[in-house]
């Protein structure tokens, strides 16, 4: 496609992975030379001369980049969390509902979802839409990401041994920046409690949400919830709902199973005797949780042929 794509922040974790995913020559990719990569004047020119700018920047830098764009024809994909709940920005999760891919395709401003919210929203939004999960349910969400989720500096520190850990739980101030995004796009009326962690592996996320059947509508069994998710994602190219065989229930999840891809698996575990349900999602935090999602949105915005989401 003869589109000029400028990546601002090309040396960060997401920016580097994005370039790897776009090596096939599908688009004309522009980055700035090292000596002017952070030069405001050079960035301003690049931002205003491209067709689509992809921002792989910290939040404040992303806001500054958007403010530099004076050319009304320039479209933006922001991979930071700066604009995820901002008016005028389209949420870049094509699987959010039946119309979201169309909204992304025509949007001038698209905000890439966060890695954790991608998993949480994919699990929760179909259930709130169907009335199977009350909007005010007291949700507790737990997730473990590979250490690359800390960003390039954090990943290098871990690999050098200076920041190594087997498991690091964080966000215990309960102010994680992804929570507002989850609340907004999952259709919730109450702020969920979110407890994230970093594991000692490089990339991949496993996210789980526990539910008690006694606190759900009477028809919200594990089977019914599984049917709801299966129906919602039946035509989605990158989201798969795992089978729920009663004879061989899911007992474990590998967070690295989708590494290097833009895919995500969803699962439902259901113990009828205890009345407990566990929703889970597995994805690559650098794939469907970051660069892979940006490429998916870029192709939609560029009008690429996509028979499925």
pLDDT per residue as tens digits for the range 254-264: 999 999 999 99
User: What CATH number has the domain bearing residue 105?
Assistant: 3.40.50.720
Residue 132 shares a structural domain with residue 236: yes
DSSP output for 268-306:
EEEETTTTEEEEEEEE-TTIIIIIHHHHHHHHHHHT---
Give the Cα separation of 304 and 5 in Å (integer): 15
Helix (H, G, I), strand (E, B) or coil at 144: strand
* Tens-place pLDDT, residues 12-56: 999 999 999 998 888 999 999 999 999 999 999 999 999 999 999
Is the model's pLDDT at 309 over the cut of 60? no
Predicted local confidence at residue 248, as pLDDT:
63
- Residue 245 banded pLDDT, cuts 50, 70, 90: confident
Residue 92 shares a structural domain with residue 136: no
For residue 124, the tally of other CB atoms under 10 A from its CB is: 25
* Tens-place pLDDT, residues 75-123: 999 999 999 999 999 999 999 999 999 999 999 999 999 999 999 999 9
Helix (H, G, I), strand (E, B) or coil at 4: strand
Mean of the pLDDT values across residues 223-237? 97
* Tens-place pLDDT, residues 164-196: 889 999 999 999 999 999 999 999 999 999 999
Predicted local confidence at residue 161, as pLDDT:
84
User: What CATH number has the domain bearing residue 277?
Assistant: 3.30.360.10
Residue 152 lies in a domain: yes
Residue 251 lies in a domain: yes
Residue 307 lies in a domain: no
When the pLDDT of each residue in the chain is averaged and rounded to a whole number, the result is 93
Residue 309 lies in a domain: no
Residue 138 shares a structural domain with residue 237: yes
Residue 84 shares a structural domain with residue 124: no
Predicted local confidence at residue 151, as pLDDT:
85
Token pair, residue 38, equals: 């952070």
* Tens-place pLDDT, residues 289-305: 999 999 999 999 999 54
Predicted local confidence at residue 36, as pLDDT:
94
Angle at 138 between CA 134 and CA 142, to 5 degrees: 115
> How crowded is the C-beta side of 201, counted as CA atoms within 13 Å?
14
Q: Which candidate in 50, 56, 115, 228 is catalytic?
A: 115
Is the model's pLDDT at 250 over the cut of 80? no
Residue 308 lies in a domain: no
Residue 152 shares a structural domain with residue 181: yes
pTM: 0.94
Give the Cα separation of 164 and 52 in Å (integer): 37
Site of tokens 């041994």: 161
Predicted local confidence at residue 154, as pLDDT:
84
For residue 238, the tally of other CB atoms under 10 A from its CB is: 20
| Number of structural domains in the chain | 2
Nearest Cα residue to 301 out of 84, 25, 74: 74
Is 115 a known active-site residue? yes
Full residue range of the structural domain in which residue 248 is found: 115-285
Mean of the pLDDT values across residues 278-283? 97
Residue 129 shares a structural domain with residue 232: yes
């Amino acid at each position: 496609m003869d589109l000029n794509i400028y990546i601002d922040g090309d040396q960060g974790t997401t920016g580097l992975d994005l370039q790897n995913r776009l090596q096939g020559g599908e688009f004309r990719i522009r980055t700035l030379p090292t000596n002017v990569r952070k030069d405001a004047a050079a960035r301003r020119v690049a931002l205003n001369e491209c067709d689509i700018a992809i921002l792989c920047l910290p939040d404040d830098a992303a806001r500054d980049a958007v403010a530099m764009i004076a050319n009304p024809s320039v479209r933006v994909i922001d991979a930071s969390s700066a604009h995820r709940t901002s008016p005028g920005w389209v949420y870049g999760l094509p699987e959010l509902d039946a119309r979201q891919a169309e909204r992304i395709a025509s949007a001038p401003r698209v905000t890439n979802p966060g890695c954790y919210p991608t998993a949480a929203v994919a699990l929760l939004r179909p259930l709130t839409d169907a009335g199977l999960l009350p909007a005010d349910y007291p949700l507790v969400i737990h997730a473990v990401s590979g250490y690359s989720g800390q960003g390039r500096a954090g990943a290098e520190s871990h690999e050098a041994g200076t920041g190594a850990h087997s498991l690091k739980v964080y966000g215990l101030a309960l102010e994680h920046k992804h929570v507002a995004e989850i609340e907004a796009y999952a259709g919730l009326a109450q702020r969920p409690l979110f407890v994230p962690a970093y594991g000692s592996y490089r990339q991949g996320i496993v996210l789980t949400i526990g539910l008690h059947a006694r606190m759900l509508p009477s028809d919200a069994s594990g089977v019914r919830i599984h049917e709801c998710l299966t129906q919602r994602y039946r035509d989605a190219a990158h989201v798969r709902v795992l089978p729920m065989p009663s004879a061989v229930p899911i007992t474990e999840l590998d967070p690295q199973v989708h590494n290097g891809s833009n895919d995500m698996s969803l699962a439902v575990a259901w113990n009828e005797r205890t009345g407990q349900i566990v929703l889970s999602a597995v994805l690559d935090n650098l794939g469907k949780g970051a660069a892979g999602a940006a490429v998916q949105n870029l192709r939609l915005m560029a009008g690429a042929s996509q028979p499925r989401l």
